[in-house]
Structure 1
Amino acid sequence: MNVLKYGSVTAVCCVLAGCSSVAEMAGYDTASLNQAAAKQYRETIRIIDGRYRLDTESETARRVHAVFERMKPFAEKVNQTGIPFDWQMAVIKSEEPNAWALPGGKMAVNTGMVEKLQLTDAEIAAVIGHEMTHALREDGKKAAGGNVLKRWAGYTVGIAVQATTGISGGFAGLGADLIGHYGVAMPYSRAQENHADEGGMRLMAEAGYNPQAAVSVWQKMNAYRDNNNLKTSIASNHPTNNARIDNLRRYLPQVMPLYQKHMSLRKVDEIRVSDGWQNILQSTQ
């Protein structure tokens, strides 16, 4: 998320208050970021498909797309960027548990995310909701601002794709912007990750998925790859698995009523942007 970068890709990210403004001053407005991200996404998916790594037929792919389609209208309902997103999802054949999102709602989930962790549909919704929240919060724009401030460069999309799919070679020159500006391979801050966890839990509740599944995702993550050591807790940009679990448990009482309410309403038109969404989307961190 950059859900599960875990150290498979190492990068340094500047996350500063006001990075979105810096990005806009440098020409990285929402519309241009979304357009550039869409172009890079199409090219990346084209190459992945050419290597027979794009999954469109398996039961895993069917489940991911079904959850994604169910959640899309709720994500669009809370979009406050001023630009409608053209949400898209790709499922990539890779054993590495990973998922990511680009500006404008371009997303991918690895088959290993679902199969290695044996995720339920509700747990898939937690992963997808997390990535949707990164896009809705425009964390990629904040990353772009940090890049402008620190002149950070030197990574190529080949690093990210090789790490998450095992493919190498032809990706070497495929757009450093995809990593350098859009957060595909660079870790978000702990605050951004917590906001994305909370937003993902809120989105899944609004779409009728039990938000308790967001907690069980990270419990399964602990069983798969425990990162709750002192080094990770001090040095990592990401919160530890246990820290995520604690934060999600604290947030759960805020979203369970949404789950119960929206299970009874079952209509996107009746959803209103709550104060909770304002807090998640307007945070600068």
Structure 2
Amino acid sequence: MRKILVAVFAFLLFVGCYSSTTQGGLVGANSRQIMLVSASTMNESAAKAYVDTLKSARNKGALNTNPALTKRVQNIAKRLIAQVGTFRQDALKWDWQVNVIEEDTLNAWCMPGGKIVVYTGIINRLNLTDSELAAIIGHEIAHALREHSREQASSDQLKNIGIFAVSQAAGLDSGATNLLNLATHYTISLPFSRSHETEADHIGTELMARAGYNPNDAVVVWQKMSKIGSSSTPEILSTHPSNESRIKDLKEIAKKVMPLYLATK
């Protein structure tokens, strides 16, 4: 009888946490997700981790060192953020923050709740145009809209691995003890899955098209990325390099959302 009750409870828990965080948009990004970790926990963690990241950069004299570049990044992000309502209306009211850190790393990220950082390395070393930069930022915004960090944390909690396993072994509450590093771990340190990267490609390309940036430039970005040798794979590519199949997929998505871009002209 006990086993039956446990099974019923697990089923109800599973069903209750099995939903989609976004509307589909033109690209259809609304597959169901398992969410066991609360949105409030992830957002609180992100807010704390973001403040910590900015403080560290400021102490190193690396935060928003180039006013013109910072304004450029923020203006591009602003145009993209104006389009997030297509995928989730509540995101329009998020406390969006956009900052640039002077660091020679090929990376950018967006924490839960809209906390964005772009590193100067990815802009300078790839010589990104505004449209190409929009593809990068749009991709990162897409991860936040789909709450991929929260989804990965939930998956780990379900399997009792990573942060959650360590906390349980120590007899600690994972939500409280690891609040600060939860968002950092699942947004910056831990690579996103292949499916998450594909979803972010699709949503990000639609966002840039709706914001008036040529979606074909998303393809150009990943072509540039793919030319970087395997010995120095960009962090932004995670464990999934920009291979031929990814570029081919982006070309199809760019073609699909092109009418949205043309409608802005």
Structure-2 residue corresponding to 1:36: 45
Structure-2 residue corresponding to 1:178: 183
Choose the corresponding residue for 1:152, options 161, 174, 181. 161
Structure 2 unaligned spans of 5+: 1-16, 21-32, 164-177
Contact 1:23 1:148 in 2 (8 A): no
Alignment of 1:76-115 (within 5 A): 76-79=85-88, 84-115=93-124
Contact 2:84 2:91 in 1 (8 A): no
Q: Deviations over 1:131-179 (max 9, x none)?
A: 111000111110110221233336xxxxxxxxxxxxxxxxxx9933233
Larger relative contact order (Cα-Cα within 8 Å, sequence gap ≥ 6): 1
Identity rate of aligned residues, in percent?
38
- What TM-score, normalized by structure 1, do the two folds share? 0.69
Distance 2:60 2:162 in 1: 27
Distance 2:19 2:60 in 1: 36
Q: CA 1:83–1:209 in structure 2 vs 1: closer, same or farther (change >3 Å)?
A: closer
Supply the AA of the counterpart residue of 1:243.
S
- What TM-score, normalized by structure 2, do the two folds share? 0.73
Provide the alpha-carbon RMSD of the alignment.
Answer: 2.8
Contact 1:88 1:107 in 2 (8 A): yes
Structure 1 unaligned spans of 5+: 1-16, 155-172, 230-235, 265-285
Distance 1:68 1:106 in 2: 11
Contact 2:43 2:112 in 1 (8 A): yes
Contact 1:89 1:107 in 2 (8 A): yes
Count of aligned residue pairs for this structure pair: 219
How far off is 1:58 after superposition?
4.4
Considering only CA atoms, is the larger Rg found in Structure 1 or Structure 2? 2
Supply the AA of the counterpart residue of 1:121.
D
Structure-1 residue corresponding to 2:243: 241
The answer to whether 1:257 aligns with 2:256 is no
How far off is 1:48 after superposition?
1.5
Secondary structure of 1:184's partner? helix
Greater helix fraction, Structure 1 or Structure 2: 2
Structure-2 residue corresponding to 1:213: 217
Distance 1:134 1:41 in 2: 16
Contact 1:60 1:114 in 2 (8 A): no
